[in-house]
Amino acid sequence: MFHSAADAHAEARSRKDGQALPRLARGQLHEVHADARDWASALAFGLAAIEADDRRPVMLLRTSPRGGMLVPCGEGIAGLGIDPARLVIVDARDGTGLLRAGLDAARSSGPAAVLLESWGALREYDMVASRRFVLAAERSRIPVVMLRGDAEPRASAAHTRWTVVSAPSIPLEARAPGPPALLVELVKRRGGPAGMRWQLEWNDEDGALREIPLETGQADDVAAPLPGIVVPLPAVRTGAPLRRIA
Amino acid sequence: MPRALVARDGQALRLAAVDRHAARQGLAAGMTLADARARCPDLATAPHDAIADTRALERLAAAMIAFTPLVALDAPHGIMLDVTGCAHLFGGEAALVRGVLEAAGHVARHGLAANAAAARALARFGGGRGEGDVTALPVTALELAEDALAGLRRAGLETLGDLAARPMAGLAARFGEAAVMRLRAILGEAGSPVVPLRLADPIRLETRFAEPIARTDDALEVVEDLLVQAARMMEQRQLGGRRFGVTLHRSDNARRRLVVETGQAVREAGAVMRLLRERIDTLSDPLDPGFGFDAITLAVLHADHLPSRQILLEDGKEENADDAAALVDQLSVRLGEDSVRRLVPRDRHLPEKAQALVPALRVKAAVWPAPEDVPPRPLLLLDPPQPVEVIAGVPDSPPQRFRWKGRLHDVTLAEGPERIGAEWWLKRGGHMPGAAGETRDYYRIEDGAGRRYWIFRHGLFSEKPDPRWYLHGLFP
């Protein structure tokens, strides 16, 4: 559901650097790390793994989040091109229950995608648990997205690991906030290069998240080397450097 | 107080049914509500639900199986019991009638006769005595059209006896063959067949063991066998179970009862077994075979129509819908029905009331209206909205900065307000000026870090001096 930007800049750049945004592929386990305040962005990124014209249900499994209840808003989900009637929200009592229910959902070929919301360290989610998810997802050919809030990255068998933060949007007229914009970094990728970052913007016409060049407005960064100097990516936990764990 | 049920008939509201007091005041079914109110100003009315009536009558008919195996519906509002050879079991016809009227529980009229048409005529037109001479019944018992009845009366024919004394040919020529057929049926000269209800046998299977079996796994295997048999029975009747009950009879006469429910009708033994295993896992005290189980019964407590499935050759779409339903069932059994929910739209304006979370077992996928031309809604709602400290211009400016969870956010971009009024129509006295409740002004704002929030001011400055601000949603 990701589309490369139509404009020549981004295309040229992605061709040049070979850095097209990899999609949250089916049959794989993806981890998305985000801060509690960026949770809507993380969820939007996870929902991007779902095909809009599919009619199968989307399983959203969660444990009670910290600090107030966050409830998905049907109209907001419809705004991201997904029929809210497809969403099945499962509340697990604890981490173990969440992983067990998630594993059952990932093994079934009924849902279109399985999204798990977890908070904090989630000790039960280790190499073995994540490997189970990988096997389940590979067999049922559906994407499994593990959303991890306020968590340190841990060793896991996931295919990709991302960090997602909200990005300043491109203002509409009268200084109104623009469409959803996020900054994603591919922290880890099994069997591929990692460490790239993209700025994504929701495009209503495509009904998809679309890549936009990092640092909008600077047209001459086409040839510029990519790393570091562009929009700084706030660390997942303030002050802590982003650690990369394979 | 006289009471009546009212149904809409074209443009007019008409009485569909009246109670005894209303009937005494001269009201009758079929009258327009306006006429009825003119005659009887204190008439209390309620809407008529014809489907519920039919259901209730069907339930009543099913209960009458206690008196006779041949029960038929006798529309409208009637039940026909063929009590041939049944009366002596209840101590005679009078006692049987008393029993039936008691079991019915409603104000009921009855008629006893040698054939169904005569019994119907006696019950409906016999003046409530229930027995007697059908020839003494008025001609209305033929249930002809009003003009035909008027014709009969004009001819001086008041009772069925008067009619029966006349040659039938003339009657048929003047009032149609139906009149003669009904008359002959009531007099017993022609047959009046009834179509009895056939109640479905409950699906209940039992296995008894020569020796008690002491292993739970063995017992579950027996349950699976029973489920396979039940599936075969249901397949023949085009049924699928919604609720299954398994009772394990222990040799010390203790019983363990396991009940599982499914969101959709199922027949496959494997699917039900998965749910049963989930149920056993969640039991607070585990299944203890003790000295072993003597017998196992399986009952399909609730079944729905489920047609035989054709095997799809090209794609597995149908199978897929089943998989999703099975997953929902499984998680509902394990975590409780209230933990597996779907979003359902509600026709309300306040954002937190515009949707509801409903157990997925209880609801089919809801139909969400197409997005209207309203400002965007957040992806996540805070429930309840969280109070924030805000610096904003008076009266209608968006916030300039706000403090949430001890952190200060500078607002860089803002859009709004989207004004959402309070639901004054739900509030007592809400239509009075100033009593409607607080209006909300929603703003979509972005802070310096690029995060977008949905924030609202609870109350206009004209409504209250110092309105509070709340954070209500997060945008991606």
CB contact under 8 A, A85 and B343: yes
Q: B312: which 2 tokens?
A: 């799809």
Q: How far is A168 from chain B (nearest CA, A)?
A: 4
Residue B7 contacts by C-beta under 8 Å, 6 or more apart in sequence?
Answer: B13, B14, B15, B16, B47, B48, B50
Question: How high is the pLDDT of residue B107?
Answer: 81
CB contact under 8 A, A181 and B354: no
Region of A120 (left: φ > 0; alpha: ψ -120 to 50; beta: rest) is left
CB contact under 8 A, A177 and B331: no
Residues B368, B371: Cα–Cα separation, whole Å: 8
- The residue among B315, B333, B380 with the most chain A CBs within 10 A of its CB, best to mutate, is B380
Q: Is the Cβ of A92 closer than 8 Å to some Cβ of chain B?
A: yes
CB contact under 8 A, B475 and A84: no
Q: A-B interface: how many C-beta pairs under 8 angstroms?
A: 184
CB contact under 8 A, A71 and B368: no
CB contact under 8 A, A176 and B413: yes
Question: How high is the pLDDT of residue A1?
Answer: 46
The beta strands (E) that lie in chain A are given as 29-34, 58-62, 69-72, 87-91, 113-119, 144-149, 160-166, 181-189, 197-203, 208-212
Chain B residues with CB under 8 Å of A56 CB are 320, 324
> Tokens 């006289």 belong to which residue?
B2
Question: How high is the pLDDT of residue B168?
Answer: 83
Q: CB–CB of B119/B112 below 8 Å?
A: yes
Please provide the distance, in angstroms rounded to a whole number, between the alpha carbons at the two ends of chain B: 60
Give A128-153 as a DSSP string. Answer: HHHHHHHHHHHHHT--EEEEEES---
Domain coordinates of chain A in residue numbers?
A: 19-245
CB contact under 8 A, A104 and B327: yes
Q: CB–CB of B143/B182 below 8 Å?
A: yes
Residues B457, B470: Cα–Cα separation, whole Å: 6
Chain A residues with CB under 8 Å of B445 CB are 177
Enumerate residues 33 to 72 of chain A having a beta carbon within 8 A of any beta carbon in chain B.
Answer: 37-41, 43-45, 56-57, 59, 67-72
Indicate whether this complex's ipTM tops 0.85. Answer: no
Collapsing DSSP states into helix, strand and coil, what is residue A115? strand
Residues A220, B201: Cα–Cα separation, whole Å: 80
3-class SS string, chain B: CCEEEEEEECCEEEEEEECHHHHHCCCCCCCEHHHHHHHCCCCEEEECCHHHHHHHHHHHHHHHHHCCCCEEEECCCEEEECCCCCHHHHCCHHHHHHHHHHHHCCCCCCCCCCCHHHHHHHHHHCCCCCCCCHHHCEHHHHCCCHHHHHHHHHCCCCEHHHHHCCCHHHHHHHHCHHHHHHHHHHHCCCCCCCCCCCCCCCEEEEEEEEEEECCHHHHHHHHHHHHHHHHHHHHHCCEEEEEEEEEEEECCCCEEEEEEEEEEEECCHHHHHHHHHHHHHHCCCCCCCCCCEEEEEEEEEEEEECCCCCCCCCCCHHHHHHHHHHHHHHHHHHHCHHHEEEEEECCCCCHHHCEEEEECCCCCCCCCCCCCCCCCCCCEEEEEEEEEEEEECCCCCCEEEEEECCEEEEEEEEEEEEEECCCHHHCCCCCCCCCCCCCEEEEEEEECCCCEEEEEEECCCCCCCCCEEEEEEEEC
Question: How high is the pLDDT of residue A162?
Answer: 93
Question: How high is the pLDDT of residue B313?
Answer: 54
Q: Is the Cβ of A80 closer than 8 Å to some Cβ of chain B?
A: yes
CB contact under 8 A, A70 and B381: yes
Q: Which residue of A37, A69, A110 is in closest CB contact with B451? A: A37
Which helix (H) or strand (E) segment holds residue A43: the answer is helix A39-47
Question: How high is the pLDDT of residue A138?
Answer: 92
CB contact under 8 A, B475 and A92: no
Q: A147: which 2 tokens?
A: 């959303």
Q: How far is A149 from chain B (nearest CA, A)?
A: 14
Question: How high is the pLDDT of residue A65?
Answer: 58
Question: How high is the pLDDT of residue B267?
Answer: 87
- Please state which of the four CATH numbers 3.40.720.10, 3.40.50.10800, 3.20.20.20, 3.40.50.300 is assigned to the domain occupying A19-245: 3.40.50.300
Q: Running along chain A, 246 residues long, what does each successive block of 10 average in pLDDT?
A: 41 47 85 90 89 85 72 89 90 89 89 90 89 92 91 90 91 87 90 86 84 59 42 44 47
- The residue among A35, A70, A75, A141 with the most chain B CBs within 10 A of its CB, best to mutate, is A75
Collapsing DSSP states into helix, strand and coil, what is residue A117? strand
Q: Running along chain B, 476 residues long, what does each successive block of 10 average in pLDDT?
A: 86 87 85 88 88 88 86 85 87 86 84 86 78 81 83 84 84 83 86 80 89 89 93 88 91 89 86 89 82 91 80 54 83 87 89 89 81 83 89 83 90 88 85 83 91 90 85 91
Question: How high is the pLDDT of residue A131?
Answer: 93
CB contact under 8 A, A73 and B415: no
Q: CB–CB of A62/A117 below 8 Å?
A: yes
CB contact under 8 A, B351 and A182: no
